[in-house]
Amino acid sequence: MNLFERMARDGAFALGYNLTDQTDGAEVRDLIGRLRPLHCGRELIRIGGDADGGYLIPDDLEGVEYCFSPGVGAVADFESHLARLGIKSFLADRSVDSPPIARPEFTFDKKFLGATDTETSFTLKSWRDKYLAGDVRDLLLEMDIEGSEYEVILSAPSDTLSAFRVMVIEFHFLEKMFEPFAHAVFKACFDKILEHFHVAHLHPNNCCGSVQRRGIEVPRIMEFTFCNKRRVTETKYRKDFPHILDRDNTGRKKPLPLPKCWYS
């Protein structure tokens, strides 16, 4: 770094901004390519409502009895839909006192999900072991925790993650994959997931738009559906975007279809 670059960065930092290098475009394209969605042998179904809180997952719920769902919002359409299918949900969120609706199929913990066990938070492993220690049945994970998903995934033992048949995770701040440090964190997180899972579906959240650099478009927030590899016998690349069951997260913003660089 030369003197001019250092002065520019120091000046920007003093004003509350942070100037960083950019990730090489080839590295960004490589990560996106590894996250290309695959048809995993089962059709997708929509669980939840027709807006935020509804997700597409493989039609492979037979035998699943429990879902872990950290991050409690104003609606619980996903968990309520699962309850009607006979699947119970464990919910957790320190920022609220209870789920938006009360159902006998819901068990709530007033804690954040994170990387450590404290008075106000627990890890994914500790949360699972609290209720299902030693249980070998397949589980579901639906996680929308406003950016803490990275620390949760990176701190979770591989055997804890592999216990889930399907995971639906909303990833935030994806535009930062153009920054080297964040890109390294994202890559480590997705590498860990891809050890046991295929990407089955991608859906941009249209609340916050996308960024474009070097011919690459990245939605700032995106819902990922992962299918456990042990449930898959063959795969092929998906090209049906937007999927017929996809819905905008909010009607107050313009639609945001999945950019072609993520599936073509």
pLDDT of residue 89: 98
| Cβ-based neighbour number of residue 101 at 10 Å | 12
Which residues pair with residue 107 across a beta bridge?
A: 90
- Residue 6 banded pLDDT, cuts 50, 70, 90: low
Q: Hey, which bits of the chain come out as E strands?
A: 38-39, 44-47, 55-58, 66-70, 88-92, 106-109, 112-113, 121-122, 139-143, 164-171, 197-204, 210-213, 216-219, 222-228, 236-237
Is the domain spanning 22-262 CATH 2.60.120? The answer is no
pLDDT of residue 137: 87
Assign 194 to helix, strand or coil.
helix
How far is Cα 41 from Cα 230, in angstroms, rounded to an integer?
12
Q: What separation, in Å, do the N-terminal and C-terminal C-alpha atoms of the chain show? A: 37
Confirm if 138 and 131 have CB atoms less than 8 A apart. no
Q: What is the pLDDT of residues 205-263, one digit of tens each?
A: 999 999 999 899 999 999 999 999 999 988 999 999 999 999 999 999 999 999 999 99
pLDDT at residue 76 greater than cutoff 70? yes
Using CA atoms, how far residue 178 sits from 42, 50, 77, in Å, is 33, 32, 34
pLDDT at residue 13 greater than cutoff 80? no
The first and second tokens of residue 173, run together, are 């701040």
Q: What percent of the chain has pLDDT over 90?
A: 84
Using CA atoms, how far residue 230 sits from 33, 135, 226, in Å, is 22, 17, 12
The first and second tokens of residue 145, run together, are 């925790």
Confirm if 77 and 54 have CB atoms less than 8 A apart. yes
Q: What is the pLDDT of residues 57-74, one digit of tens each?
A: 999 999 999 999 999 988
How far is Cα 210 from Cα 236, in angstroms, rounded to an integer?
27
Nearest of 121, 126, 142 to residue 70 by alpha carbon: 142
Q: What is the pLDDT of residues 106-125, one digit of tens each?
A: 999 999 999 999 999 999 99
Q: What is the pLDDT of residues 143-159, one digit of tens each?
A: 999 999 999 999 999 99
pLDDT of residue 20: 61
- Residue 45 banded pLDDT, cuts 50, 70, 90: very high
pLDDT of residue 233: 86
As a whole number, the mean pLDDT across the chain is 92
pLDDT of residue 38: 97
How far is Cα 192 from Cα 247, in angstroms, rounded to an integer?
29
Assign 165 to helix, strand or coil.
strand
**Would you list the domain boundaries of the chain?**
22-262
Assign 120 to helix, strand or coil.
coil
- Residue 9 banded pLDDT, cuts 50, 70, 90: low
How far is Cα 109 from Cα 90, in angstroms, rounded to an integer?
8
How far is Cα 110 from Cα 89, in angstroms, rounded to an integer?
14
Of residues 171 and 74, which shows the higher confidence score? 171
